[in-house]
Structure 1
Amino acid sequence: MSRMNGGEILSDFMLKRAMSRSALFTSENYKERWFTLTDDSISYYSGTLAKRGSKKGAIPLNNIKTIECVEDGSLDDKKNVFQVMHRDERDSYYTLYIVAMSPDQQKKWVDTIKKTLRAGRIVCLPKYHTGVWTKSQGHYNCCDQIDRNAPGCQDAPGEAQRQAALPPLPKIPGDPVSPPPRNIPSPQSNGDIQKPVPQPRRAPKEKKIFVAAYDYKPYEAGDLELITGNEYEILDDSREHWWFAKNQPGDTGFIPANYVKKKFDLEIYEWYYKGVTRERSEAILKAEGREGCFMVRDSSQAGMYTLSIFTNESPELFVGGTPVRHYHIKKNSEDKFYLAEKHPFVTIPDLIYYHKHNAGGIATRLRSPPTKDKNIPVTAGFGHSKWEINRNELELFEVLGSGCFGTVQKGKWNGRVVAAKMMKERTMSEDSFLEEAKTMTQLSHPNLVQLYGVVTKSKPLIIVTELMQYGALLTYLKRHKTRLINKVSTLLDTCIQVCAAMEYLEGRSFIHRDLAARNCLVGENQIIKVADFGLARYVIDDEYTSSTGTKFPVKWAPPEVLSFTRFSSKSDVWAFGVLMWEVFTCGDMPYNQMRNAEVVDFVCSSNRRLAKPNGAPEKIYQVMLECWNKEPDNRPAFTQLLRTCRGLNDDGNYPHI
């Protein structure tokens, strides 16, 4: 590759779009700049076509993750645009858009930068966005994904194959990350070899090493297999749910971010159950029913942990006669962990190891944790970019239920058990829904039913989701009313799980529009997940969208929706208050004796509210009333609601299972 003066590989005059987070871009956001490419960076300078000016910035080649062309017209109707997506020193991601003066100039720069990256063995991402993300639109104009760091929608030409074919890097003694220095002919030496000038050595960037907590089998090309306990280097973690990683043999690909944990985190241990409450820990351990079955979970006191263990030894000696004991893991003055003060340990794993061999002051010796297979997290979609599902690959079995949108059947896709929602024709705006389906697969939370993908190439449209074993929360509450009606902590934990999912949606400006107990599902170990989020906006049935129709959820709607059809996260907060009422009545119908028109008058004109459920403490009813404030701005956000509900459950004043 030929060099220009000063070691430059390329130098050209082009337009640069400002790397601004502004919503709007005008002609003032484009600056004429001189660009230069060297072996280690892309730099840009002020100046005119006739003369280069002062240096304005530079991007080290090591930080570049994508170098590709942009589809003509995607960036403010401009042509000949190419993009340089890169990471800065704070590990934030930015995309530099450069407007070339001609197609030839565009191609020359993209090809030359790629060759330079390959010569330096710099790995780029295997996928990229052909369009651009703008704040004014709030999504990529090539694939409609709303996350700025969403996975690319197009394969980068030859990138995955190039990475797979790369031979191992030669190493320098004492420096495992740098390639050997090269002897480069000096432009002034007529081809004579010039010895490299010694450069000060920079400390290598610390690698991000994670450990697989679960096995993962790839579902599409570009994904990387995970094996529990193996270590993986994270090369790119800019995307929320899918990280680009390298295994120990050197293979690279995308992995689900929630399947790996930091090397020294408790989460790599099968006995640690992050985020599990006292109620659910008891349910899990009772379901196992094995002497010495145990888990470590987060304590209600921030930063502390609790050991929960199942034992049949003298249950009558403990409160409520429960076979599950709970022990706070405490710290002594030397900052060591202990259950029994005379047996302290530097780490919690050391403590667990000791008590597996010695009871040491607790009810029984620790044996083994619960069966972990029941707690494998779902992934955001089947693969890092897969959301379209081939109908021929989807097996359908028995009908599980039916609703406004259609029937739900149990199914199987590539060995994974799923739920398949068969949409009735002409009940929803399919085109509008499909535009957002790709984004909805990237919404992922432990208390949201995961949308895996959709079948669109044949009729009817099928929405494929995670399967929840015990069905609708409303049905579950009614079926178990006798057992649950006085279990305040269990019912409050149900509300907390729903609130956690809604906080996640609220944080992404996503409105549910139809939150109710019938649209939440129950899984193993009392896991509650919110379903059908966002689907209501695509319904084209007039009866559903009319506030006087029979299908519209009038009894869960706030005044601004009943009067003006004005949906927001605050209307979801109102519906959450009604859901809390459903939970604490174990499935009663709100405003049971009223017709819809009477409910509208009761809520809007009379400004009256549902009465306190008999089994709900006054503090919990006050939370419901806060959700039902007539003024949307005076209703709490889900973040505040979640904090309040967790605080109530941590009081310990309510009976447990």
Structure 2
Amino acid sequence: MSRDGKEVLADFMLKRAMNKGTVFTAQSYKERWFVLTEESLTYYGGTLAKRGKAKGTICLNNVKTVETVEDGKLDDKINVFQIMHRTEKGEGYYTLYVVAQRPEQQKNWVDTLKQTIRDKGVTFLPKYHTGVWTKNLGHYNCCDQIDRNAPGCQVIPDDGLGAAQNNSTRSNLPPLPDIPKTNGTGGHRPVPAPRPPKREKEKDREKKIYIAAYDYKPCEDGDLELVTGSEYEILDDSRDHWWLAKNQNGEKGFIPANYVKKKFDLEIYEWYYKGVTRERSEQILKSEAREGCFMVRDSSTAGMYTLSIYTTETRQSVPSSSREGVVRHYHIKKNEQDRFYLAEKHAFVTIPDLIYYHKHNAGGIATRLKAPPAKNKNAPVTAGFGHSKWELDRNDLELFEVLGSGCFGTVHKGKWHGRVVAAKMMKERTMSEDAFLEEAKTMTQLSHPNLVQLYGVVTKSKPLIIVTELMQYGALLTYLKRHKHRLLNKIDTLVDICIQVCNGMEYLESRSFIHRDLAARNCLVGDSQIIKVADFGLARYVIDDEYTSSTGTKFPVKWAPPEVLSFTRFSSKSDVWAFGVLMWEIFTCGQMPYDQMRNADVVDFVCTANKRLPKPEASPQRTYQIMMDCWKKDWEERPTFKTLKQILTKLEGS
């Protein structure tokens, strides 16, 4: 509660510096807490989590205009509103420009300010400027008037919230004359020629300002260095993974798109965990085991969010030393006013506002929010080592211990310019190298959190080396067998593994890319039980008996659908069939499908007898039904990966 009246509204927004300098830059804008009371508007320093010291106060009795600013008029920013007010000493007028995060936040502040000021009987000016006065240009950019005290060019609409007033009501106010345009020596200055109108694309283009979440050192000419916390303007985001950007010094170059986050988006907050499932949120929070440890994640309902929080059991009958920690999940809902809430009587315009409130008040949830988990600070993988780099120099690659071996060759732990990688050294005559190299460049540009990243290939020396992201815990098949006794009782964990694989496959499906060899052996496990799909597309180029059917065609027979076994017809729907077999592997914790059958027997079993694998003992009927849907004989009747993801997500935690 403020000492000068009841608190009406509070929000975290940007404020432009007033009357300082001639050119406004990013440094001219400061993040401030704005607090409106019945008597004044005060802005404070600090952060979103903690309000700091007061930086300035405007008495509501001195406010003469509260209106929006046309998008793009204030340094190409949008959602701006203005507060024109008289100084405390009454010697002039100043205008405070505030940048809201969203249109609804802008409207809420303008409406609430007008209503609060009107209730005090304050009279507004009859006109306002739709643009801003810029000192370096010496005029308003909405009407070209060259005096900052010139009356507005637009009549204030009679909106019932600070209705427009007639000039006759202004007799008690300092005059705002319509000053003639002069040249400063008493003579009249020629009216400037009207500026040519901006082309529509230039006028409507919104600058895309992003903040670097990680440092990035350029790997090739044409890349741009990123410094964590710095702002960058995105000039071209037409490519999926490498964007053309400009830094604050005007330098341009390509940056990895997943290293920057849009200003004011949830992703800039350390408590937001994008793409984390319910099961993984529980694993992360329980591993921290701290009272009030929390995260906000995407809900199973598209466009909605869930708050997950760790708390200890509070039953008095249980000694505090042995109370079990649990994770509570709360859907973040919206009321009729489009405000977010956990408990309906505590609703807020933004999710950050909601989090700020519940950090200081439990407000109907299990415990007050304390701090998010310690995120993995390692930078995410990039699509290749540079915006166009896919062919690597063998001299830049260091090789260390062998991580595994197989019919294709050996996999080594390695380093490329200090970055830890996996290096797959291919045996000669195990793959059709020329055909593979034609597509390697395209494959480096496939990038998703649930795909093992292909960085590039060493082609100019033998053997051929495929360089990929390193996954610490190896193949999913081995992981399932090793942890069988623990996993068989945890259905949610097994479903979560299926969801992660499905996420990666949905991405490949959306890009019309067929894996052809989806199986537990070709998925890898990383930190925090992250599952990623590996070796997508390689099956076309391998030469190995394990992949040979009775007709001599090469593919993984026990994971293949009837149209592949009979006609070698691959599609995303043949990957869906293989996903059903992979689900069967997951719910048997690594058992070999059709383990008593030869390849020829599998063809007869699937194609001729139209039979399917039996239900795993650990699988509920609902997950086995998903497998059966994947194994429909008519490929057109099988679900897409997008549909499978929706079905599996609804199963999670049910």
TM category (shorter chain) comes to 0.5 to 0.7
Match of 1:425 among 419, 428, 435: 428
CA change 1:432–1:215 in 2 (3 A) is same
Residues of 2 paired with 1:175 and 1:538: CA distance? 65
Q: Which amino acid aligns with 1:418?
A: V
The answer (yes or no) to whether the contact 1:208–1:235 under 8 Å persists in 2 is: yes
**Following the alignment from structure 1 to structure 2, what is the Cα–Cα distance between the partners of residues 245 and 315?**
55
Match of 1:251 in 2: 251
Query: Does the aligned pair in 1 maintain the 2:546–2:556 contact within 8 Å?
Result: no
Q: Which residue of 1 aligns with 2:557?
A: 554
Question: What is the rounded CA distance, in whole Å, between the counterparts of 2:485 and 2:465 in structure 1?
Answer: 37
Deviations 1:15-69 (A, max 9, x none): xxxxxxxxxxxxxxxxxxxxxxxxxxxxxxxxxxxxxxxxxxxxxxxxxxxxxxx
Give the deviation of 1:212 after TM superposition. Answer: 2.1
The residue that corresponds to 1:302 in the other structure is 302
Question: Which residue of structure 2 lines up, in the alignment, with residue 272 of structure 1?
Answer: 272
Contact 1:315–1:321 at 8 Å: present in 2 too?
A: no
Amino acid at match of 2:300: S
Partners of 1:278 and 1:543 in 2: CA distance = 37
Question: What is the rounded CA distance, in whole Å, between the counterparts of 1:488 and 1:219 in structure 2?
Answer: 43
Partner of 2:464: 461
Report SS of the residue matched to 2:411: strand
Aligned counterparts of 2:537 and 2:198: Cα–Cα separation in 1: 53
Counterpart of 2:287?
A: 287
Give me the whole-angstrom Cα distance separating, in 1, the residues matched to 2:278 and 2:311: 16
Match of 1:629 among 628, 632, 650: 632
Answering whether residue 372 of structure 2 is matched by residue 369 of structure 1, we say yes
- The whole-number CA distance in structure 1 between the counterparts of 2:462 and 2:631 is 41
Match of 1:372, SS state, is coil
- Looking at structure 2, the residues matched to 603 and 597 of structure 1 have their Cα atoms a distance apart, in angstroms, of 10
- Specify the SS of the correspondent of 1:422: strand
Q: CA deviation at 1:250?
A: 1.4
For residue 449 of structure 2, the aligned residue among 446, 461, 465 is 446
Corresponding residue number in structure 2 for 1:218: 218
Distance 2:140 2:523 in 1: 54
Aligned pair count?
A: 464
Contact 1:543/1:549 (<8 A) preserved: no
Give the direction of change, closer, same or farther, for the CA distance of 1:210–1:639 in structure 2 (3 Å limit). same
Q: Following TM superposition, by how much is the alpha carbon of 1:241 offset from its aligned partner in structure 2, in angstroms?
A: 0.8
Structure 1 position 254, deviation (Å): 0.6
Q: Is the partner of 2:376 in helix, strand or coil?
A: helix
Return the match for 2:417 from 414, 417, 420: 414
Identity %: 78
Deviation at 1:275, TM superposition (A): 1.5
Partner of residue 437, structure 2: 434
Q: Which residue of 2 aligns with 1:199?
A: 196
| Corresponding residue for residue 209 of structure 1 | 209
> Is 1:315–1:323's contact at 8 Å kept on the other side of the alignment?
no
How much does 1:468 deviate? 1.0
Counterpart pick for 2:505 among 479, 502, 509:
502
Query: 2-side partners of 1:214 and 1:498: how far apart?
Result: 26
In structure 2, relative to structure 1, the CA distance for the partners of 1:592 and 1:172 (3 Å cut) is same
Structure 2 counterpart of 1:506, which letter?
Answer: E
- What per-residue deviation string (whole Å, max 9, x for no partner) do you get for residues 292-351 of structure 1? 332111122333222222333538999x95432222223344433333445433222122
2:623 paired residue number: 620
Deviation at 1:498, TM superposition (A): 1.1
Residue 604 and residue 198 in structure 1: after superposition, are their counterparts in 2 closer, same or farther (change >3 A)? closer
* Structure 2: unaligned runs, 5 residues or longer: 1-134, 142-191
Indicate the residue corresponding to 2:642 in structure 1. 639
For normalisation by structure 1, the TM-score amounts to: 0.66
1:572-587 alignment, distance < 5 Å: 572-587=575-590
AA aligned to 1:212 is: A
1:94-105 correspondence runs (5 A): none
Letter in 2 for 1:556: W
For the residues of structure 1 that align with 2:550 and 2:370, how far apart are their CA atoms? 57
Q: Among 549, 568, 572, which residue is 1:569 paired with?
A: 572
Please tell me the root mean square deviation across aligned C-alpha atoms, in Å.
2.8
Structure 2 residue aligned with 1:156: none
Report what 1:402 is aligned to: 405
CA distance in 1, matches of 2:197, 2:629: 62
Match of 2:179 in 1: none
The answer for the alignment partner of 2:311 in structure 1 is: 311
Shift of 1:375: 6.5
Checking the alignment, whether the CA contact within 8 Å between 1:295 and 1:309 is kept in structure 2 is yes
Tell me how far apart the structure 2 counterparts of residues 529 and 403 of structure 1 sit (CA, whole Å): 20
1:331 pairs with 326, 334, 340, which one? Answer: 334
The one-letter amino acid of 1:389's match is L
For residue 618 of structure 1, report the CA deviation from its aligned partner. Answer: 1.5
Q: Does 1:490 align with 2:493?
A: yes
- Assess if the C-alpha contact under 8 Å between 2:544 and 2:554 holds in 1: no
For the Cα contact (< 8 Å) 1:297–1:305, is it kept in 2?
A: yes
Per the TM alignment, residue 547 of structure 1 is displaced from its structure 2 partner at its CA by 4.0
Q: 1:514–1:533: 8 Å Cα contact kept in structure 2?
A: yes
Unaligned runs of 5+ residues in structure 1 are 1-169, 177-194
Pick the aligned partner of 1:603 from 602, 606, 619. Answer: 606
* Stretches of 4+ aligned residues off by more than 6 angstroms: 315-318, 548-551
Name the counterpart of 1:91. Answer: none
Contact 1:547 1:554 in 2 (8 A): no
- TM-score (ref. length: structure 2): 0.66
Separation (CA, whole Å) in 1 of partners of 2:613 and 2:316: 41
1:533 aligns with 2:530: no
The aligned residue for residue 241 of structure 1 is 241
Structure 2 residue aligned with 1:481: 484
* 1:455-481 alpha-carbon deviations (Å, 9 max, x no partner): 112111111111111111111111111
Partner Cα separation in structure 2 for residue 355 and residue 587 of structure 1? 44
1:515 to 515, 518, 542: 518
Q: Which moved more, 1:599-608 or 1:301-310?
A: 301-310
- The 2-side partners of 1:490 and 1:538 are apart by 34
Report if the CA contact (8 A) 2:335-2:341 is conserved: yes
1:474 aligned counterpart, secondary structure: helix
CA distance in 2, matches of 1:393, 1:378: 18
Task: Please give the alpha-carbon distance, in whole angstroms, between the structure 1 residues aligned to 2:314 and 2:386.
Answer: 49
Aligned to 1:355: 358
Note the alpha carbon deviations across 1:216-240, whole angstroms, 9 max, x for none.
2222221112223322111011111
Query: Which of 1 and 2 has greater Rg?
Result: 2
Question: Aligned in 2, Cα 1:595/1:227: closer, same or farther, shift over 3 Å?
Answer: same
Query: 2:548, 2:556 within 8 Å by CA — same for their partners in 1?
Result: no
- Partners of 1:539 and 1:545 within 8 A in 2: no
> CA–CA distance in 2 between the matches of 1:200 and 1:551?
64
Amino acid at match of 1:611: P
Query: Aligned partners of 1:525 and 1:643: how far apart in 2?
Result: 23
Equivalent residues of 1:516, 1:579 under 8 A apart: yes
In structure 2, how many angstroms separate the alpha carbons of the residues matched to 1:598 and 1:497? 32
